[in-house]
Amino acid sequence: MPLTHADFMKLANGSDIRGVAVPGVPNEPVTLTPEAANRIAAGFIRFLSEKTGKRPEELRIAVGHDSRISALAIKDCVLTGITHTGAHGIDCVLASTPAMFMAAIFEDTAADGSVMITASHLPYNRNGLKFFTAAGGTDKDDIVKILTYASEAEEAHGTLDHVLKFDLIGRYSEYLVDKIRAALGGAEQPLAGMRIVVDAGNGAGGFFAGRILTPLGADTAGSRCLDPDGRFPNHVPNPEDPAAMLSIKEAVIENDADLGLIFDTDVDRMSAVLADGTDISRNALIAMMAAILAPDYPGSTIVTDSVTSDGLHDFLEKDLGLKHLRYMRGYKNVINECIRRNEAGEISPLAIETSGHGALSENYYLDDGAYLAVKLLIAAAKARAEGRTLDDLIAALRRPAEAREIRIGIIGEDDPKAYAATVLAAFEARAEAAGLRIASPSYEGVRIVFPNGWALLRMSLHDPNMPLNIESDETGGADGIERRVKELLTGFGSLDLSCFHV
C-alpha cells in the first residue's frame, strides 16, 4: 500500500528527516523505505523549483551520504527520484554534512540544492535526509512542505546513466587545507612536528586524518576508527558519548599526541582532547572557540544553548569581554538567533551548543565539526610556535564540580508539551514563593540560581519528557539542588519522578 501523508509526517524531525531504514531491531519497523526516499526526492525538487523559480530540468542536485549500511540503497532511490523529474543529479559518494552544503557554494559543483543522507549519531538501523541550498539548511516549516509534496508524488524512477560522480570530500579537504596554510603563513606543511590523532567512530570523518592532517605535515599515527563501517563496531560516533570520549583520550595518551580530534558520524559536530588527556567538549569547547575568536571580534555576542554553565558565562563576559546569550536548545534555533542578531547589526561570530554543534559567521553559519577542528589546529600551531599550549586559552575557565542531567518522563498525557507548559508555570511560581532566584531573561524553561549552582527545567524538543540540568560548584552539592527541585515538582501526577537520584 502506498505511503500516506501521515506516514511521511512521522519522518519529520525538526529541520531534517529521520526514520528506521533497515529491519532487525525489535519493535522498530522500517519507516524510511525506498519508496519514501524516492518520493521525498521528488518533493524536494518541487520545493526547490518553487524556491528558485527554475524548472526541474534546470536544477542541479548534489547527493552524498555517511557510512550507514542503508546509505547506498537510499541514495539510488533519491537520485532516481531526482532524475525522473528531469533534474540533474551529482553523486558525491561518501561525504560529510558540511561538505554537502559546500556543494552549493563550490563552483566545481554549482548545485542548486543538496541532499545529505545521514541520521547523525543514531543507531545503525536509522537513516535520514538533510537538505541545503546556498542560503543554508532547511527549517522545520520547509521539511513539512517537502514531506507534504512527497505525499502528493508517486514513486517513479529515472535513470542513473547521466549522473555525474564527484569527489566532493576531496574538494572540501583542499578548501580546509588552504585555510590552514593561509592562516599559518603559507607554509606547505605548517603542522610538521605535531602528532594529532583522529577518532572518526567509523563514520564519514576518517578523511580528516589522511586528506587534511597528513598533507599539512602532521603525524596521525595512533588514529582510530577511520574506516567507514555503518554498524559502528567500536563505539557510537558521538562526541557526547562517554565510550567515544574514552577512546580518543586513550589514543592521545597512548601515542603521546599533541591533540586528539573526534567527530560524529556526519562530521557536523566535534570535540577534542589535549595532550594531558583533558577533554575539550561541552562548556570547554565553547570557551576555547570563543577565546580563539575574541581578538578578532571584541565585545561580540556568543550565542549558546540554554544549558551552559555559570563558569562559562563568567569566562565569556568577565575574562574575554564578550557578551553571552543563552538561547533555546536545538542547533538551528541557536544558529538562526545568531543570524538574526548579525542582520540587526549586533556582531555575533559564533553560535554553538554544548552538544558540539558550532557555526561561525565567517563560515556561512554552517555547523561544521571539521571547521571547528581547523580553528583549533590553527590556534594549536600558533601556541606551539610561541611556547604555549591550547589549554592556556581557557586557563581561567571555572568548571563545575558536579553536573548531571535527569529526564523526567511525562506519562499518560495526549499533549505533553501543553502539560509541560503548565508544570513550568507552576514550578516557577513555587520557586519564587520559596524565595529562590529565577534567572532572567530565559528563552527556554525555568532556570533557578542557587548559592552553589543552578538547575534548569525545560521541555524536550522531540520527546515526551522534561530534561532537568543541574550543576554545582561544590562536590556533593548537586544532590541538594536535585532534592530541592524534586520538592518543587511534587503533586504533578503525570510526571515520573522515579528518575531522581535522591
Given 2.60.40.680, 3.40.630.10, 1.10.1200.10, 3.30.310.50, which CATH number is that of 402-499? 3.30.310.50
pLDDT exceeds 80 at position 114: yes
Which candidate, 262, 255, 272, 285, places its Cα nearest to that of 208? Answer: 262
Every domain of the chain with CATH number 3.40.120.10 lies at: 5-166, 167-280+368-386, 281-367
Question: DSSP characters for 443-482?
Answer: SSSEEEEETTEEEEE---SSSSEEEEEEEESSTTHHHHHH
Given 3.40.109.10, 3.90.1150.10, 3.40.50.720, 3.40.120.10, which CATH number is that of 167-280+368-386? 3.40.120.10
Give the pairing type, strands 259-263 and 126-133: unpaired
pLDDT exceeds 90 at position 330: no
The fourth-level CATH superfamily of domain 281-367 is: Alpha-D-Glucose-1,6-Bisphosphate, subunit A, domain 3 (3.40.120.10)
Phi-psi region of 304 (alpha: psi -120 to 50; beta: other; left: phi over 0): beta
Give the pairing type, strands 366-367 and 402-410: unpaired
List, for residues 190-202, the tens digit of each pLDDT value. 999 999 999 999 9
Mean pLDDT across the chain: 96
**In whole angstroms, what is the distance from residue 321 CA to residue 314 CA?**
9
pLDDT exceeds 90 at position 501: no
CATH code for the domain defined by 5-166: 3.40.120.10
List, for residues 82-103, the tens digit of each pLDDT value. 999 999 999 999 999 999 999 9
List, for residues 374-417, the tens digit of each pLDDT value. 999 999 999 999 999 999 999 999 999 999 999 999 999 999 99
- What percent of the chain clears pLDDT 90, i.e. is strictly above it? 95
Count of alpha carbons within 13 angstroms of residue 15, beta-carbon side = 15
Which residues, 6 or more positions from 100, have their beta carbon under 8 angstroms from its beta carbon?
62, 64, 92, 114, 115, 116, 130, 132, 168
How confident is residue 209, by pLDDT bands cut at 50, 70 and 90? very high
**In whole angstroms, what is the distance from residue 389 CA to residue 380 CA?**
7
* pLDDT for the residue numbered 98: 98
Could you tell me if 400 and 450 are in contact, meaning their C-beta atoms sit under 8 angstroms apart? no
Phi, psi of 103 (to 5 degrees): -60, -25
